[in-house]
A and B are shown apart, each in its own frame.
Chain A
């Protein structure tokens, strides 16, 4: 079956195996089938040698978290991300895409999503929602509206995050404003970025969503994104200037006020899409060091936490095994808070009892503490 991967590119993997340790699913299983090298070999088997799509083969592809931890580890610069996206697309077409498309449909309808979320919030308060779903502990019942403070930058508000974690957007906006930038939240004008669609093998759909965002926004104005997953997708697919929030602010560190740092020991958890795709995980530290008293590193070299967008729902077993590794690593350094710049990761971790905050929230809190004391 044609997976739509460029055969020359598929040939660039020399099966050296140097990517194995950077792959969360190989790390927890020790099984070559769940490794990048194995998955690439299977793609070759399927595409070049017409190997049948057995359950095991599709399972190998489905269990890939698409964290892309394997890409920076590969000295032969094999574009694994392209391979797996292409494979997922081919598989989705092969199986029929309706189910996933339906599941993701609400993301493109912000009002509906917010309504649904408010209903979920009520249900949560009535204790009808199992904790293992990994939703934020208390979904908001009502959300304050966004407001604009200028047009220096856009703040990309997206879909799920806007419904579930709008407070993070407010915090980000306040920090940007403290640095002297006038901020326009994109709101419903530019909704879902399409990242989840693309990962689920609905690339065309994802592409359309990104295009509609590009159409809605002024290309001259930089877009600040505080969700690592959306940022990664937009950096790859949008024609606008996209910046991760920490990345942007670390560049303008001197614009930000000097304040007494928060007394808190923060461990940084790098969302894969920030570290492996955007390769912009270091600015988080630059920024946090200025605003919290202790920044601790986890000892797992940025191995994925197992959230992976919809992955935690679609592959709960593997997702939880991967999370166990992350939890062990967090346990070894015993931080008070884990800073994570991706809503998916923080929900996934807090569902396991880890106290997580978005780095922008911590910075905002440090700034606020200071303004209330002076």
Chain B
């Protein structure tokens, strides 16, 4: 280790004491997040406990010419939290207090490290919840949700994270503390709050968030529809929307994943159906009964072989548990998976799905599909054994084709997982040089020197500041 780094560490320790870690074990772990990417190199990790600490750490990093990377729970799937160029990692996991809940105004102030599900559990006795419900909600943080503008099954009706954030306290890359947005109806000025959400940690570090809290609906109906083919399920989804119903959630699973899920939760997911549709409507009792009936009718018109309604809350919870742990259940089929995330117009769901199966076949990979069908948000999981030599090349090649097929169908690169390092190479396929240039201008307004989470989202080579930021540290220092 060079003296320069000793000096950096010493400065950080003065602020955080033993909440700075720079040992080889820690650095090895923080090189990664939940994505399959393994190319990061971590500098010291700072477990901050207050906005002021974050500010001081950012300033110290700046003084030492180092960039910073904010990290929540590290469940991101696009590599957003992966450190490039040995930056100082700012872990927000210890800033996990729920500061204030105001049910009259329906807001809660929380620190960024609050776990999504912990917030909802805290609100349950008060009759409220935090609407965005990513499948990772038991671990992912509000700061990470804001970072990735995360969605979840129930975002079909309720909207993704962006619709549920009122104000954000941010430590900018130069150490300034700023509050974006506000609790008033239509804060004046540019919508910097809205722009910051989904910024993947590149626009600054969230240190406090005012979230909207949503009253729990008095009545919920959950339907499980079975189909012979994913095409029938997809057609049903389109028809439901076309009929003017916006269910709280509409999720589709294909046969292989349904079997794996059923092995895990055992609630009666049909093993013989080609696909299942999990649809949920919520609201007042009469309306949900009407909508549940209409969805069931539309399903039957489109080939549903069976329609079942969850008889109890327990059954409902179990059905959802099955859906939400689907990614893990694939471990029964193969030890590793690569989860893709693209969106296509609903009318193209069935065609794109068939294309996905074809692409997987072509690359000799197993694939299962479980997705937010209501939003047209596909989640193909490519299954493989990571020990197999050369396998990652095939997986990435198939992934590239899936992205291509989605864009060709009029879709987008990512529905909720973000770009990070994963989709960075594909940005050119969706956007022109000029489009990307404007995204970069947006970012430079927040962080002119590219000090916050450099090297993500915008394709490398686009911004010289990034490259500088990444090259600043000789490889061997933290390697």
Task: Assess whether A76 is in contact with B328, with CB atoms less than 8 Å apart.
Answer: yes
CB distance from B87 to the nearest CB of A (A): 16
Task: Assess whether B24 is in contact with A30, with CB atoms less than 8 Å apart.
Answer: no
| Cβ contacts B122-136/A at 8 Å (1 or 0 each) | 000000000000001
CA distance A8 to B385 in the complex (A): 10
Give chain B residues whose Cβ lies under 8 Å from the Cβ of A54: 23-25
CA distance A78 to B91 in the complex (A): 26
Taking a contact as CB atoms closer than 8 A, the residue among A20, A60, A77, A299 that contacts B25 in the complex is A60
Tell me, yes or no, whether A14 is within 8 Å of chain B by CB: yes
CA distance A3 to B387 in the complex (A): 19
CA distance A33 to B25 in the complex (A): 7
Report the count of interface residues on B (CB-CB < 8 A).
40
Give chain A residues whose Cβ lies under 8 Å from the Cβ of B327: 16, 75
Q: Which segment, of A38-46, A144-152, A169-177, A192-200, faces chain B?
A: A38-46
A11/B325 contact (C-beta < 8 A), A33-B29, A60-B25, A75-B331 known: no
Task: Assess whether B73 is in contact with A17, with CB atoms less than 8 Å apart.
Answer: yes
CA distance A164 to B29 in the complex (A): 42
A16/B136 contact (C-beta < 8 A), A31-B47, A33-B21 known: yes
Task: Assess whether A56 is in contact with B24, with CB atoms less than 8 Å apart.
Answer: yes
CB-contacts of A316-340 with B (<8 A): none
Task: Assess whether A45 is in contact with B28, with CB atoms less than 8 Å apart.
Answer: yes
Give chain A residues whose Cβ lies under 8 Å from the Cβ of B113: 30
CA distance A33 to B23 in the complex (A): 10
CA distance A55 to B26 in the complex (A): 12
Give chain A residues whose Cβ lies under 8 Å from the Cβ of B387: 8, 11
Task: Assess whether B96 is in contact with A41, with CB atoms less than 8 Å apart.
Answer: no
CA distance A303 to B140 in the complex (A): 17
Give chain A residues whose Cβ lies under 8 Å from the Cβ of B96: 30
Task: Assess whether A16 is in contact with B328, with CB atoms less than 8 Å apart.
Answer: yes
Give chain A residues whose Cβ lies under 8 Å from the Cβ of B335: 8, 11-12, 14
Task: Assess whether A14 is in contact with B337, with CB atoms less than 8 Å apart.
Answer: yes
Task: Assess whether A16 is in contact with B75, with CB atoms less than 8 Å apart.
Answer: yes
CB distance from A329 to the nearest CB of B (A): 12
Task: Assess whether A30 is in contact with B34, with CB atoms less than 8 Å apart.
Answer: no
Taking a contact as CB atoms closer than 8 A, the residue among A11, A21, A32 that contacts B26 in the complex is A32
Give chain B residues whose Cβ lies under 8 Å from the Cβ of A78: 331
- B29, B91, B385, B386 pick with most chain A CB within 10 angstroms: B29
CB-contacts of B341-394 with A (<8 A): 385-387
Give chain A residues whose Cβ lies under 8 Å from the Cβ of B28: 41-42, 45, 51
Tell me, yes or no, whether B294 is within 8 Å of chain A by CB: no
CB distance from A1 to the nearest CB of B (A): 14
9 closest A-B pairs by beta carbon, nearest first, are A75-B328, A30-B93, A76-B331, A75-B325, A30-B94, A56-B25, A56-B23, A17-B75, A32-B29
30 A–B contacts from the bound complex (CB under 8 Å): A8-B335, A11-B335, A11-B385, A11-B386, A14-B328, A16-B327, A16-B328, A17-B75, A17-B136, A18-B138, A18-B328, A19-B139, A20-B73, A21-B138, A30-B47, A30-B91, A31-B45, A31-B91, A33-B29, A41-B28, A51-B24, A51-B25, A54-B23, A56-B21, A56-B24, A56-B26, A60-B25, A75-B264, A75-B325, A299-B121
